[in-house]
Amino acid sequence: MRLARPHPGHLFGTGKLAELGQRLSEAEVDLVLVDGPVTPVQQRNLEKEWGVKLLDRTGLILEIFADRARTREGVLQVELAALSYQRTRLVRAWTHLERQRGGLGFVGGPGETQIEADRRAIDEQMVRLRRQLSKVVRTRELHRAARRKVPFPVVALVGYTNAGKSTLFNHMTGAEVMAKDMLFATLDPTMRGLMLPSGRKVILSDTVGFISDLPTELVAAFRATLEEVLEADLILHVRDISHPETEEQAADVGDILEALGVDEDVALIEVWNKIDALSPATREAILATDARRGDVQAVSALSGEGVAALLAAIEAHLAEEVIEERLDLPFAEGRRRAWLHDQGVVEAERETETGWSLDLRWSASQKGRFRDL
């Protein structure tokens, strides 16, 4: 149901509050989920009025994320997002937190309220988590830097949660990433090598599923898990084409990619997944559309139908024109010269009076990365 004007104290008006309370009591409900934001005061009052535990949209997503996180980074990201959320819950949330308490020394001085003490404890824990997380992120950056030295393109799978990304990832790579019919089955980025039909190797990255109206705490906390998308040479946008709201989901994914700062120049293929779940007529129409559009591939990650054509499309997108040119570098740019040698693009090199003259054979993307050094 839609609320014309949310009640500041109880979210619902008096009549609706009583009506819902009676229905919850008759159904013996213990947990109520609200698909939207609920203020701390509203949460406290509703739980007291109905005698249930209540979660809003952000709280529910955090609960799911906490259950799914597996890697060290994923766990830290969830804890950080949960603390950020809990901190907002302290603001006028529970009256017992407003009592003053005494204290000696530097911590908990006279007149400090319990809410202030709790908020300080949360802030200290968030600082500790950020410190631990920065170490994990630095390690990931070292791994990423090592991969840059190996000239393998990165192909990133993105899409709405439960679109079938992990099932497709497993089918293409032979990996055994958890793939279930549930929201946010994947939280931690997973990377595997993938051999294309020509024998060329690429790195395939599976990412966390997107969702509409992602809470701000989670956008900030999970940005690091989506960094692989920012560095991708090709993005595969996996869509559940059988879902009734597939167009709305696709628009949400586009908005999040834009918010993340994904370059418009990065090639993107739409992968219309779950064609096995369509009726024969719809399926035929989808395949006809697929044939007309070069940037769309219709597949069934479950049966493998269309995956061979998808691999061929990936290969075609990554087949970059090789550029041969000469580049002069001064002696002061030794680090950039070393990068060129690490990439294996130097065909010949001569030392000049002011630096080096290099004959290069490289791709446009490598040239662009060199420019950004």
Round the average pLDDT of the chain to a whole number and report it.
79
Q: Is 62 helix (H, G, I), strand (E, B) or coil?
A: helix
* Tokens linked to 106: 């530097």
Q: How confident is the model at residue 265 (pLDDT cuts 50, 70, 90)?
A: low
- Among 22-26, 73-77, 216-220, name the most confident range: 22-26
User: What pairing do the DSSP bridges indicate for beta strands 323-330 and 53-56?
Assistant: unpaired
Q: How high is the pLDDT of residue 79?
A: 84
State the pLDDT at residue 328: 93
The reported pLDDT for the residue numbered 80 is 84
pLDDT digit string, tens, across residues 52-108: 988 888 888 888 777 766 667 777 877 888 888 888 776 544 444 444 444 444 444
Q: Is the pLDDT of residue 17 over 80?
A: yes
pLDDT at 246: 92
Calpha distance 150→229 (Å, rounded): 18
Query: According to the model, what pLDDT value does residue 105 have?
Result: 42
Q: Which residues of 290-323 are buried (b: 16+ CB within 10 A; e: fewer)?
A: beeeeebbbbbbbeeebbeebbebbeebbeeeee
pLDDT over 70 at 182, yes or no: no
Q: Are 304 and 168 a contacting pair, CB within 8 Å? A: no
Does an H or E element contain 194, and which?
A: strand 190-195
Q: pLDDT, tens digit, for every residue of 159-177?
A: 888 888 888 988 888 766 4
Q: Over 60: is that where the pLDDT of 178 sits? A: no
pLDDT surpassing 90 at residue 356: yes
Average pLDDT score over residue span 20-42? 88
Structure tokens at 337: 């010269």
Most confident of 81-95, 189-203, 238-252: 238-252
CA distances, 59 to each of 1, 32, 140, 143, 145 (Å): 20, 11, 28, 33, 36
pLDDT tens-digit map of 283-309:
888 877 665 566 889 999 989 999 999
